[in-house]
Amino acid sequence: MAIGFKIHPRTRTIDPATVEKFKGIAVANISDSMSRMSHGGARIRPLHAGGVLCGVALTVRARPGDNLLIHAALNRAKPGDVLVVDGDGDLTNALMGELMLSHAQQIGMAGVVLNGAVRDYGWIRMNSFPVFAAGVTHRGPYKNGPGEMNATIAIEGMVIEPGDLIVGDDDGFVCVPFDQTEAVFAAADKKQQAEARTMAAIKDGTVDRSWVERALAESGCEGI
């Protein structure tokens, strides 16, 4: 038995209708609706030209600097999958570049999230294929393993199970657990609608900011 070197089956997946409706929800509103307790780390930033990331998690735990299991995942990926790789945050070697990312795009993947480095940044920033990563380096990877595909991973404390929902925008990315998508969508959509009403009030000069003074008074602030 090869411990830590295995391709597991993925036994669940988010339905396309749920993926589609989350595309219109800001990551910040999803995060707020999850009590601000789910966070993939401020280091992992969008590097592509722009656009929303939304799809089903295909997880990989990679040995730092090694992308053999990432290649294995590309061979097994489904359209709409988001490749989410825990490379331990190591930036010594790039785990993916233009060739692998082009292949991921060509087979219909929704995007890539790497807790690690990429290369060919010029190609990434000129294209709309969603790529989130922790850094950039020209030095390439090894291809020896070990690693695991469709295993539970964690990025900066955020647990990601294969088949969970991954959503990303300019503010970063978030994982919505498989069995919480409906509740999170309802809460995030409600918050987003409330923010739209607040923005309308800001624009017409009628926004109510009395809550600030109430909060100061209730907290015992002097001088108000």
Any binding-site annotation on 98? yes
1 strand-pairing partners: none
Any binding-site annotation on 100? yes
44 alpha-carbon distance from chain centroid = 9
Whole-angstrom distance, CA of residue 192 vs CA of residue 24:
10
Sequence letter at residue 23: K
Pair of tokens at residue 132: 């989130």
The runs of H, that is alpha helices, within the chain are 16-22, 27-33, 68-76, 98-106, 121-126, 181-204, 210-218
The pLDDT, as a whole number, for residue 181 is: 97
Any binding-site annotation on 214? no
pLDDT more than 90, % of the chain: 95
Any binding-site annotation on 120? yes
Give which of 9, 42, 39 is closest to 133, Cα–Cα. Answer: 42
Q: How confident is the model over 57-76, as pLDDT tens digits?
A: 999 999 999 999 999 999 99
Domain ranges of the chain: 6-178, 188-219
Whole-angstrom distance, CA of residue 81 vs CA of residue 59:
10
Neighbours of 11 (CB within 10 A): 9
Average pLDDT, the chain: 96
115 alpha-carbon distance from chain centroid = 10
Residue 19 pLDDT grade (very low, low, confident, very high; cuts 50, 70, 90): very high
Give which of 168, 129, 199, 162 is closest to 25, Cα–Cα. Answer: 168
Neighbours of 155 (CB within 10 A): 25
**Residues 6 or more apart whose Cβ sits within 8 Å of residue 216:** 224
Residue 1 pLDDT grade (very low, low, confident, very high; cuts 50, 70, 90): low
**pTM for this structure?**
0.94
Give which of 149, 152, 187, 159 is closest to 40, Cα–Cα. Answer: 159
The pLDDT of 128-148, averaged and rounded, is 97
Overall CATH class of domain 6-178:
alpha beta
**Residues 6 or more apart whose Cβ sits within 8 Å of residue 209:** none
The pLDDT, as a whole number, for residue 127 is: 97
Residue 2 pLDDT grade (very low, low, confident, very high; cuts 50, 70, 90): confident
The runs of H, that is alpha helices, within 15-64 are 16-22, 27-33
Helix (H), strand (E), coil (C) string for 163-182 = CCEEEEECCEEEEECHHHHH
Any binding-site annotation on 97? yes
Residue 160 pLDDT grade (very low, low, confident, very high; cuts 50, 70, 90): very high
pLDDT more than 70, % of the chain: 100
Rg, C-alpha atoms of the chain: 20
